[in-house]
Structure formats: structure tokens, C-alpha cells
A and B are shown apart, each in its own frame.
Chain A
Amino acid sequence: MRRGVLESITVVIAGVVAFPLFWMVLSAFKPEDEVISADPRPWTLRPSLDSFTRALTVQSFGRYFVNSVVVALIVVALSLLISFLAATALTRFRFRSRTTLLIMLLVVQMVPVEALTVPLFFLMRSVGDAVPWFGLNHLGSLVLVHLAFSLPFAIWMLRGFVAAVPVELEEAATLDGASRFRFLWQVLFPLVAPGLVATSVLSFIHAWNDFLFAKTFIISAAENQTLPLALQVFVKPDQNDWGAIMAGSTLMTIPVLVFFVLVQRNLVSGLAGAVKG
């Protein structure tokens, strides 16, 4: 009986927590007159894809979606390679300044990256003079900063996964005549795959969600905007196309939601690992 009451409370709370998401998806599928009605109802009898069509065609969300995907995927691929190598170095080798590097990795995660917009803005401006693709108004600048911001946590998290692979395996591989390079890519890399998945998802989400740097760096090249910025641009006082905005939000949220659900086990154990050691 008491447990029944507690369980009902739990379900009600879950409903409240999920409600904004439900409302987002519902509004995206409502016909326009129902979205901007002074009398909103929590259901619709006439679901339509009009809002999605408007978002993708009139407001070219498709273009921004592709931009966001490109940035996020390049960041994931690069941070995977770089953090795998770095994590291996930090767990498999004993060398001077190893502990110092580890502490710095932790401290660097606490630096508010938002504070770095000013110097990074000028850095990207100079970089752009030399290599335009990595400068302001280009997606390359976003790739660079998100790579830098996601690396410390990625290395920190992968460390645990690399450390879990027994050293004997490396000895065995060496005895069998495998080169260091071969061991690294054909033995170790596949073995830490679960860790790589969890880390990639975090890097992906980080790059995908970014609003501030997209806003700071992509100033005048509308064709190089990413989703978060595009979404904000469409929010104008008094004349919001809420249906299209909700459709855009849905498109933006779903990839993250899918990834999150896929890796939540890895994520929780990974976070616990990062917290508990």
C-alpha cells in the first residue's frame, strides 16, 4: 500500500519532468493554428508535418543540421585518436612529470571556457589570416575549440579504461612479435572500445550543444551557422514561428537523446569512475 503511493508519486514526478519534452514534440506535430492558439491543449487531433517542412525549408534548418553534424563528428574523430594516445601514455608509462600532467588535466577542466571567448576570438582571427578554413566565420574554428575543450575530460575518462587492460596482454603481444604500433591499434584500441564510445558521446554532445562559441565565431557567415545559434536567431519577440522552433528543437534534441540512452550505463560507470577513481 505505502509502496503503491510512493510509486504513484514517482510516476507523477516523472511526468512533470518529462512534460517539457512532451510539449516540444507535441507542438512540433501540431498544425500551426493550434500552436499559436490562446487556448493551448495538451493533445492534437490533427497531427501534421508542416512545422518540420517549414523549419527545414523556409528556415533552412537542414543546412545548420549538417553543419552541426560535421563539426561534432570531426571533433569526435580527432578527440578519440588524440585522447586514446594520451591516455595510453599516462597509464602505460612511468615518466617524470606524469603526476603533474594529471593534476593539470583536472585543473584545466575547471577553467570556465566561457571566460576564454575573448582571447580565442582574437586567436581565431589570426589563425584565419593564415588558414581561412580554421578562422572566424568557418566551421574549422569551432572544431578547434571543441577539440581542446573535450580533450581533458576524454583523456581523464579513457585513462580508467586503458588501465583496466592487463599489462600481461602487452607482454604476450610483444612475445608474439607484435610491434608497439600493432599492439596499440590492433589489441588495445578494440579492447577499450566501450570507453571510446562513452567518451565520443560526451565529445559529441559538447560540440553539438555549444551556443556561445558558435555565436562568437560565426559572425557574418550565415551559411556556416550551427543549430543552437540558428534556433536562437528564429526566436524574435512578437513574431515567433513557435511551431517551426519546436520542430527545430526536436530535431536538435533527438540525436543527443538517442546517444544518451545508448550509453547511459557506460556514462554512469564512467562518471562514477571519474569521481570515485
Chain B
Amino acid sequence: MRNQGRVAYGYLTPALLVLGGLLAYPIYQLVLISLFDYGQEQVSGGAPLTFLGLGNYRTLLGQQQFWTVLGQTVGFAAVCVVGSLLVGTALAILCTRVRTWARMVLFLAALGAWSTPAVAGSTIWLFLFDANFGFVNEVLGTTGFSWTFDKWTAFGLVAAQVIWCSFPFVMVTLYAGIKAIPTEVLEAAALDGASTARTAVSVTLPLLKPLLIVVTIQSIIWDFKVFTQIYVMTNGGGIAGRNLVLNVYAYQQAFAASEYGLGAAIGVVMTAVLLAITVFYLRALKRQGEVL
């Protein structure tokens, strides 16, 4: 038994070294930096480090912009999550109603959207919605209309792109979930005289619930930390930063404004929110009978 432990740790050493040095240590550093006034002078050694305690957090919570950005992040994530869940679920159900060839066509298209790198996807959508050369304006007859100029159409465009590349995960997972429901259960419901709608609400939905929870939380985690799409499509957070979300805001504070301490504090806030969601995630997994 002792020997086993030693061999196991031998095998684990490389992984622990990498994860410790490049994940655990930076997390500790993140918290540490967020407690200091850490700007350009401190980085170059021109000024001494001053410990602020929770000063950065106080600055942050006192900022009007922080609350606006936080609200935008939550709203944006909510739209993306609801959108990809609705589209994904609807298409998963559609997939169960058609023959294999039609399903394969849809799966292939979804796989393409899923696998497109975020930068490439954002660029394609930008081009499709380009004011002068975009195909969408050509079809709508609105040539010259800039989708990225107005705050809300810009957010809408980015959300549409995010939904486009994240609904396939929901669709594929839920389709697998629906297929995994034993046919006997559905037959029994039919024999007992349940209508299709009744079966869907009282049999299929409860059976899918654990999977739905997992998919929802996974989507929340993903959409809450969208960076690339916002950054690329609104050119770094929109005109005067009106399309910022937390991730991009943290990046801009740290690397554009050289307020590393403040940027780190935003990172800590974001991590805290996501860890809270993770706790729900773990609970959901547990309810599903996941054993470690």
C-alpha cells in the first residue's frame, strides 16, 4: 500500500509540477496582486509597492462603470445561455423526429459551427454583417447600415455569434440524453393513455432534468467568460467601452490602462462568481450519481 502511494505520486509528479506552477501559483498571485497598488511605476521599479488591502475592491465597487459592466456581463450571458438552450433543445427534439440522413446533415452543419475557432468565427460574422460589403445588408436591402456602431445591435450580433457556436454542444448532449431514455418507459406512458404533450412534460422532461442542469451550468460558465468574440467583433469593447464585459474590462484595466491591481481584482470577482456556479454544478453532478 505504501509502495503504491509512492509509485502513484511518481506518476503524478509531472502533472502536479505543471498544475502547481502554472495554475495554482498564478491563482495565489492573482489574489495577492489584487491587494496592491500595482501600476506601471511599480512594475518598472520606479515606485514602491503599496499594500492596499481591499482598496482595489473598494475602488471597483465605487465605480459606476464596474456596475454597468457587471450588469452587461450578466445580461449578455443570460441572453446567450437562454438562446443556445432554446435553439439546442428545439433542434435536439427535431432530430428525434426525422430520419437519419436529415439528422446527419444537421449534425454536420452544427459540428462545423462548433469547431470554428472563435477568432475565425467572429471575423466571418463581421464580414457577413459588414456595412458595405456584407451579405446580410444586401439581403435586407440596408446597405451601409453598421451593425457594430449601435450598442445594442453590436451586443445582439455578438450574442448571435456566440449562440451559433455554442448551441451544438447543447443539441448533441440533449439528443444523446433523449435517445438514452428507454422506449419501454415511453410505451408504458402511451399505454396508460398519455398524450404526446403529457408524455413530454411528465416523462421526458423529468428524466432529462439532470442533464439539462449540467448543460445549463456549463453554458453559464462558458458565456460568462466570453472574451474573444466581444474583443474582436466590437474592437476591444466597443466605442468608449460601451460593449465591455467583465473579462474584456479586466484585460483593458490591466494591459491598456496598466492598472494591474485593479485588473486582478476584477479577475478575483469573476473567479468567485464562477466558483459559486461550480458548487451548484458539483451538486448537480452528485444528484446525477456521479462517483469520483
In the complex the two chains form, is A107's CB within 8 Å of B275's CB? yes
In the complex the two chains form, is A115's CB within 8 Å of B127's CB? no
In the complex the two chains form, is B277's CB within 8 Å of A110's CB? yes
A27-42 vs B: 1/0 string, CB under 8 Å?
1000000011111101
A4-23 vs B: 1/0 string, CB under 8 Å?
00110111011101101101
Query: Does B9 count as interface, using CB distance less than 8 angstroms?
Result: yes
A-side interface residues toward B, CB under 8 Å? 3, 6-7, 9-11, 13-15, 17-18, 20-21, 23-24, 27, 35-40, 42, 81-83, 85-86, 88-90, 92-96, 98-99, 101-103, 106-108, 110-112, 114-123, 144-145, 147-149, 151-152, 155, 180, 205, 208-209, 211-212, 216, 227-228, 231-232, 235, 237, 242, 245-246, 249, 252-253, 256-257, 259-261, 264, 268, 271-272, 275-277
Across the interface, which residues of B come within 8 angstroms of A253, CB to CB?
115-117, 120
Given A212-B227, A231-B119, are A111 and B132 also a contact pair (CB < 8 Å)? no
Across the interface, which residues of A come within 8 angstroms of B147, CB to CB?
none
B196-224 vs A: 1/0 string, CB under 8 Å?
00000000000000010010000001001
Across the interface, which residues of A come within 8 angstroms of B143, CB to CB?
38
Across the interface, which residues of A come within 8 angstroms of B275, CB to CB?
107, 110-111
The segment out of B24-32, B60-68, B187-195 that lies at the interface is B24-32
Across the interface, which residues of A come within 8 angstroms of B30, CB to CB?
115-116, 118-119
In the complex the two chains form, is A242's CB within 8 Å of B127's CB? yes
Query: Does B80 count as interface, using CB distance less than 8 angstroms?
Result: no
In the complex the two chains form, is B109's CB within 8 Å of A256's CB? no
A145 to B19, CA, bound (A): 10
A110 to B278, CA, bound (A): 7
Ordered nearest first, which 4 A-B pairs have the shortest CB separation?
A115-B267, A148-B22, A119-B29, A89-B11
Per the CB 8 Å criterion, the residue count for chain B at the interface is 99
Residue of A24, A89, A106, A152 touching B12 (CB-CB under 8 A): A89
A106 to B224, CA, bound (A): 18
The interface centre, meaning the residue of B19, B254, B255 with most chain A CB atoms within 10 A of its CB, is B19
In the complex the two chains form, is A117's CB within 8 Å of B289's CB? no
Query: Does B274 count as interface, using CB distance less than 8 angstroms?
Result: yes
Across the interface, which residues of A come within 8 angstroms of B242, CB to CB?
none
Given A6-B94, A37-B133, A235-B232, are A111 and B27 also a contact pair (CB < 8 Å)? yes
A108 to B221, CA, bound (A): 13
The interface centre, meaning the residue of B14, B120, B260 with most chain A CB atoms within 10 A of its CB, is B120
Residue of B4, B103, B268 touching A93 (CB-CB under 8 A): B4
Query: Does B105 count as interface, using CB distance less than 8 angstroms?
Result: yes
A216 to B252, CA, bound (A): 11
Across the interface, which residues of B come within 8 angstroms of A277, CB to CB?
285, 288-291
Number of A-B contacts (CB under 8 A): 292
Listed by A's residue number, 14 A-B pairs whose Cβ atoms lie within 8 Å are: A10-B95, A20-B121, A94-B4, A111-B27, A112-B271, A118-B260, A119-B27, A119-B33, A123-B22, A232-B123, A249-B120, A260-B114, A261-B108, A261-B111
Across the interface, which residues of A come within 8 angstroms of B109, CB to CB?
13-15, 17-18
Query: Does B181 count as interface, using CB distance less than 8 angstroms?
Result: no
CB-based nearest A residue for B250: A115
Residue of B4, B95, B135, B211 touching A23 (CB-CB under 8 A): B135
Query: Does B264 count as interface, using CB distance less than 8 angstroms?
Result: yes
Across the interface, which residues of B come within 8 angstroms of A259, CB to CB?
115
Across the interface, which residues of A come within 8 angstroms of B103, CB to CB?
10
Across the interface, which residues of B come within 8 angstroms of A35, CB to CB?
133
Residue of A38, A94, A212, A261 touching B133 (CB-CB under 8 A): A38
In the complex the two chains form, is B123's CB within 8 Å of A123's CB? no
A272 to B172, CA, bound (A): 10
Across the interface, which residues of A come within 8 angstroms of B10, CB to CB?
89
In the complex the two chains form, is B290's CB within 8 Å of A24's CB? no
Given A18-B113, A253-B116, are A111 and B271 also a contact pair (CB < 8 Å)? yes
CB distance from B80 to the nearest CB of A (A): 15
Across the interface, which residues of A come within 8 angstroms of B282, CB to CB?
103, 106-107
Across the interface, which residues of A come within 8 angstroms of B114, CB to CB?
260
Given A11-B105, A13-B106, A148-B22, are A20 and B15 also a contact pair (CB < 8 Å)? no
Residue of A6, A17, A89, A276 touching B112 (CB-CB under 8 A): A17
Given A24-B120, A228-B119, are A115 and B12 also a contact pair (CB < 8 Å)? no
Across the interface, which residues of A come within 8 angstroms of B70, CB to CB?
none
CB distance from B270 to the nearest CB of A (A): 5
In the complex the two chains form, is B134's CB within 8 Å of A82's CB? no
